[in-house]
Amino acid sequence: MMIYLPIAEVAVNAFVVLGLGGMVGILSGMFGVGGGFLLTPLLFFIGIPPAVAVATGANQIVASSVSGVLAHFRRRSVDIKMGIILQIGGIAGAIIGVLIFNYLKSLGQIDLFVTLCYVLFLGVVGGLMFIESISALRKSNRGATPARPSRAWLHALPFKTRFRTSALYISVLPPIGVGFFVGILTAIMGVGGGFIMVPAMIYLLGMPTKVVVGTSLFQIILVTGASTMLHAITNQTVDIILAILLLLGGVIGAQFGTRIGALLKAEQLRILLAALVLLVCGKLGLDLVIPPSEVFTLSAPE
């Protein structure tokens, strides 16, 4: 069944989009990530204009994160104070990100920049996660617990405050910085930034793992929400019909993903996720290097 998208101005097969949403939903249920890093490139692939894919992707992540965060609220595993402080940085970052996005779009380099961002971040995050989870798997087989790295420099910064849920007493500056950085990525890449935020919270801020996912989802809702609004107002590129189709597939997929995820060990899950991230990174990287079949592209002028 073909559905005409009013904003993207293309007709897409509704079942393909539902399927894409479902696939990404399964992954997000399995791994606890938003899946934007997969969804946005897949939307490019089925012919959605990049600007619409990025903006609508952000809107879709709002929904999947709301769905996920509610369970964490019930378990009280959301550090609201930390989330809000991350958010202050996040909104500023999203504004800067949309400005960068629009500037690069006018130069004709937005596709390249978005792809480079994906290759860089997916490569770094996927690589680190892969190495870390393999060594964790070895250690867990030997039965040792990993030591926490010391974060002396973190304690030297001013504006310290107490985060009760995370049991931390640290400066507000690192969370604002992390939020700012993720905010920029959200606006440019159409991703929630969970794949950057989660490792940053664990390794940089030293938050306990049990509050990390809930807090990350909480802050992703706010930052992708802000990003959706900014894209809607400055570019009119959020396609509600596309978002609804993705949502329907996504929420159903997420439920199956959660069950599949429960059958696997945490380290195995992380290795799989790392392999997937590296796969997407490799594909996008290859596309930059391989001579394209068509060197010309058409777009609406600014």
Partner 1 sequence: MTAMIKYLLLALTLLSLPARAEEVVLGLSHDEVAITATFDGSEILIFGAVKRETPIPQDAPLQVVVTVSGPLEPLMVRRKDRQWGIWVNTQSVLVDHAPSFYTVATSAPLSEVITDTQDLRHKISIRRAIRLVGAGVHDSQDFSEAVIRIREKDNLYSLRESTVAIDQDTLFRTALSMPSDLREGAYRTRIFLTRNGEVVSHYETSINVQKVGMERFLYNLSQQNPAIYGVLALIIAAISGWGASAIFRLIRDA
Stretch that binds partner 1, among 123-131, 159-167, 242-250, 275-283 (CB under 8 A): 242-250
The token pair at 148 is: 């926490």
Binding-site string for partner 1 from residue 92 to residue 111, where x marks contact by CB under 8 A and - marks none: ----------------xx-x
- Residue 26: name the closest of 269, 252, 205, 217 by CA: 252
| Residue where the block lists tokens 């990003």 | 227
Is 263 one of the binding residues for partner 1 (CB under 8 A)? Answer: no
Stretch that binds partner 1, among 36-44, 82-90, 124-132, 289-297 (CB under 8 A): 289-297
The secondary structure of residue 45, as a DSSP letter, is H
Q: How far, in Å, are 34, 165, 172, 265 from residue 13 at the CA level?
A: 23, 45, 47, 36
Is 295 one of the binding residues for partner 1 (CB under 8 A)? Answer: yes
Distance CA 197, CA 199 (A): 6
Is 16 one of the binding residues for partner 1 (CB under 8 A)? Answer: no
What is the closest distance, in whole angstroms, from the C-beta atom of residue 257 to partner 1 in the complex?
Answer: 12
In the region spanning residues 102 to 161, those forming contacts with partner 1, defined by CB under 8 A, are: 108-109, 111-112
Is 255 one of the binding residues for partner 1 (CB under 8 A)? Answer: yes
Is 191 one of the binding residues for partner 1 (CB under 8 A)? Answer: no
Stretch that binds partner 1, among 9-17, 81-89, 146-154, 194-202 (CB under 8 A): 9-17
Beta bridge partners of 171: 160
What is the closest distance, in whole angstroms, from the C-beta atom of residue 157 to partner 1 in the complex?
Answer: 34
Is 225 one of the binding residues for partner 1 (CB under 8 A)? Answer: yes
- The residue among 99 and 173 lying less far from partner 1, judged by its C-beta, is 99
Cβ neighbours of 37 (radius 10 Å)? 29
The token pair at 248 is: 């329907």
Distance CA 30, CA 130 (A): 17
- The residue among 233 and 279 lying less far from partner 1, judged by its C-beta, is 233
Q: Which helix (H) or strand (E) holds 260?
A: helix 240-262
- Residue 136: name the closest of 30, 262, 31, 270 by CA: 270
What is the bridge-based pairing of β-strands 160-163 and 11-13?
A: unpaired
Is 63 one of the binding residues for partner 1 (CB under 8 A)? Answer: yes
The footprint of partner 1 (CB under 8 A) covers 1-4, 6-7, 9-11, 59-60, 62-68, 70-71, 108-109, 111-112, 225, 228-229, 231-233, 236, 238, 240-241, 243-244, 247-248, 251-252, 254-255, 288-289, 291-292, 294-302
